[in-house]
A and B are shown apart, each in its own frame.
Chain A
């Protein structure tokens, strides 16, 4: 059964009954009854002449009703058999129906229901489903509407504005249940446009077509709204856009501007922009000016404020908004949008939350709630324990470009007690403090890759090796480094997870046993120079020298082992660290400069007896994981020049050239500040943006601002 055809002939049939003498209410009832019968009978037994069938059946229903009524009231009604109407009369009949069903004496909801039934040919059940009310309720609403217009003379010309308002309401109701009201509104408006030359009818049709064109891009599969700026414009229906623009241009050419033409013009300008950025907001503001002039509608003024914000900046938009009544629907939503663009996320988040509470439909409320949540998540990341308030932190973040990812290197002092104690309890307590400071940096919104020294820990393992050499075989230095990575990594991961959770940060920690590639031919191997472990008397040292180790006479305190300290070439596990960081983990890795391995071009890498400077490895690591900041945490707030002299001064913000000049002048001690300065210089030379040397408690300030620590800028 062709339901569209059936629906299209309904107004005509009502018109036929009307001209045969039926009043509107009775004719409409009779046609509705015939319609319900058609829906039942036609699928099995389609008529050759659908309109003739509907007229015949409706007329019979009418006569039945009249006879029942007549017998009740003992009154005769004269009815005439008349020939079927010609085309001109059909147009007139249908047009009159539009006016009658949208009569100003009807409430908007009643007019909508009556229009959908008498002009749209929908059944009461379909209309009830579309508006989610019981069929009986809808039937009563329609009956009352018909009683209300019963005194209106059928042939009286009406106001096209009321008809357009009804059709606009139907269109705006969208799509619910099995009735596509959007499509139905377009059908009815198109039909009306075919019967009248009124440019506003064309304007409304154009508006509907242009908005309907966006339908495929308007909602996600989960039903959530996609804002205009984020819609996939490739999914807009170009055929509908082209038709809408044609209809609009023809209407505008008649030079009788009205609100629907103005709205359609705005929709057409959006349709015209291939990307949201290309939108001609200046012209859109001009059309909103027209719309405000035509209607004085406060909602139009509100939308104008949005357009002004796009055309002239958020300040101008907020100024336009300030002239409006805050009680307007969606006022808070507009204020939130403009306030965020004006750079005040905290206030915008509050406004979005307020707007969500005021939303009158579910998809919009969910959209606004998500906006508030998005901003609050960003702000939460900036609220640092005890340092500054949420407002101050937001202002601060707005002023400084945060690095996306930072490599942070913890020094030995971050891993032992204040008195140098290396008991497990003292180490854990020290790491907990360090983890708190690192967590603050994460909370500030920086992805952190964390590395650490292992001097005291590796020293202790060496002592165990020495003392237990007669019981268990001593293990090589690369094993010792691996062991310290495991114990420190585990403890740091534990403490960091706790610290992150305490700050309400969702990220968690992953610790990785990490290898660092060195050159087997590095000159460091020929002349080991890095002292490790404890001092021993000569006799004991000689035992280890006999096992192949290098020991040096360090004077009165005795002999001490020296090992190679080769240059780190690359972090072998860099890709894994990078992947973990990308996945949102805070990665603890490359402890103690990484397990030194050499590539002998054999099937496997080979661990070598060496220790690598952890700061130099940190610079390589930062390069390999694409960090834009390198942070070396140490026990002094700044790198000093003139150290130990009356002219001693801390370095604040420095350039690579300045720092290199200080290094060349011998300002920095080998084995202490020297490698740190070298590391930050290498990092910046390799393309890093910002390198920092400062104390643990200042790392976040040093990363987010320029007034704390020694900060090297590229």
Chain B
């Protein structure tokens, strides 16, 4: 089994096919979208492949240490970043093919007009633990 991170971007990813911002969907479309995501997570839990899923607020800031004894410096909210992560799902699957298959399903979540968004998701493998036998 290998864990993969499925990353959803507010911006920074190539444009989706059904590229209408969520705030211009109908309330029913938003509900349908949220339900799809929830069903997807439930289904993965049922198949023993779900690890975690979280959504992130679009607002945030950069924080940097400014040296010992000084308060951290902040910058933001993200004025300059091109890439903005909206959320993630972590799955634990048998193969990369399965990770891609699941990301494809997640990308097809319904959006405006009830049509699949077909958005780009980033799929990143986790680095695991070292195996005991290497020779």
Q: Which residues from chain A sit less than 8 Å from chain B, CB to CB?
A: 107-110, 113, 131-134, 136-138, 140-144, 168, 171-174, 176, 182, 207, 211-212, 225, 228, 263, 266-267, 270, 303, 306, 359-365
Q: Say whether B132 contacts A142, CB under 8 Å.
A: no
Q: Which residue of B lies closest to A182 (CB)?
A: B132
The answer, yes or no, to whether B131 is at the interface (CB within 8 Å) is yes
A429 to B68 Cα, complex, angstroms: 39
Assign chain B's interface to a size class.
20 to 34
A228 to B132 Cα, complex, angstroms: 12
A308 to chain B minimum Cβ distance, whole angstroms, is 13
The answer, yes or no, to whether B48 is at the interface (CB within 8 Å) is yes
Name the one of A134, A270, A303, A361 contacting B129, with C-beta atoms under 8 angstroms: A361
The answer, yes or no, to whether B119 is at the interface (CB within 8 Å) is no
Q: Say whether B51 contacts A137, CB under 8 Å.
A: yes
Q: Say whether B135 contacts A266, CB under 8 Å.
A: yes
The answer, yes or no, to whether B1 is at the interface (CB within 8 Å) is yes
B49 to chain A minimum Cβ distance, whole angstroms, is 7
Q: Say whether A144 contacts B47, CB under 8 Å.
A: yes
A266 to B133 Cα, complex, angstroms: 11
Most chain A Cβ neighbours within 10 Å, of B1, B45, B130: B130
What are 5 A-B residue pairs whose CB atoms fall within 8 Å in the complex?
A: A107-B94, A109-B1, A212-B132, A228-B135, A360-B2
Known contacts A107-B94, A171-B133; A132/B3 CB under 8 A: yes
Q: Say whether B129 contacts A173, CB under 8 Å.
A: yes
Q: Say whether B51 contacts A211, CB under 8 Å.
A: no
Q: Say whether B133 contacts A207, CB under 8 Å.
A: yes
A168 to chain B minimum Cβ distance, whole angstroms, is 8
Q: Say whether B128 contacts A361, CB under 8 Å.
A: yes
Known contacts A131-B92, A361-B127; A144/B133 CB under 8 A: no
The answer, yes or no, to whether B12 is at the interface (CB within 8 Å) is no
A225 to B131 Cα, complex, angstroms: 11
Q: Say whether B128 contacts A144, CB under 8 Å.
A: no
The answer, yes or no, to whether B50 is at the interface (CB within 8 Å) is yes
The answer, yes or no, to whether B60 is at the interface (CB within 8 Å) is no
Name the one of A109, A176, A225, A359 contacting B94, with C-beta atoms under 8 angstroms: A109
Most chain B Cβ neighbours within 10 Å, of A137, A172, A270, A360: A137
Known contacts A140-B45, A363-B130; A134/B50 CB under 8 A: yes
Q: Which residues from chain B sit less than 8 Å from chain A, CB to CB?
A: 1-3, 44-52, 92, 94, 125, 127-133, 135
Known contacts A131-B92, A140-B46; A360/B125 CB under 8 A: yes
Name the one of B51, B92, B125, B132 contacting A174, with C-beta atoms under 8 angstroms: B132
Known contacts A134-B51, A137-B50, A144-B48; A270/B135 CB under 8 A: yes
Q: Say whether A142 contacts B48, CB under 8 Å.
A: yes
A144 CB contacts on chain B under 8 angstroms: 46-48
Known contacts A171-B132, A171-B133, A270-B135; A137/B127 CB under 8 A: no
Q: Say whether A365 contacts B127, CB under 8 Å.
A: yes
Q: Say whether A110 contacts B48, CB under 8 Å.
A: yes
Known: A132-B92, A225-B130. 14 other contacts (CB 8 A): A131-B1, A132-B3, A134-B51, A137-B44, A137-B45, A176-B129, A207-B133, A267-B135, A360-B2, A361-B128, A361-B130, A361-B131, A362-B130, A363-B129
A113 to B128 Cα, complex, angstroms: 18
Q: Say whether B128 contacts A140, CB under 8 Å.
A: no
A225 CB contacts on chain B under 8 angstroms: 130
A147 to chain B minimum Cβ distance, whole angstroms, is 11
B80 to chain A minimum Cβ distance, whole angstroms, is 27
Q: Say whether B131 contacts A174, CB under 8 Å.
A: yes
Q: Say whether A137 contacts B48, CB under 8 Å.
A: yes
A12 to B96 Cα, complex, angstroms: 38
B50 CB contacts on chain A under 8 angstroms: 133-134, 136-137
Q: Say whether A211 contacts B1, CB under 8 Å.
A: no
A586 to chain B minimum Cβ distance, whole angstroms, is 29
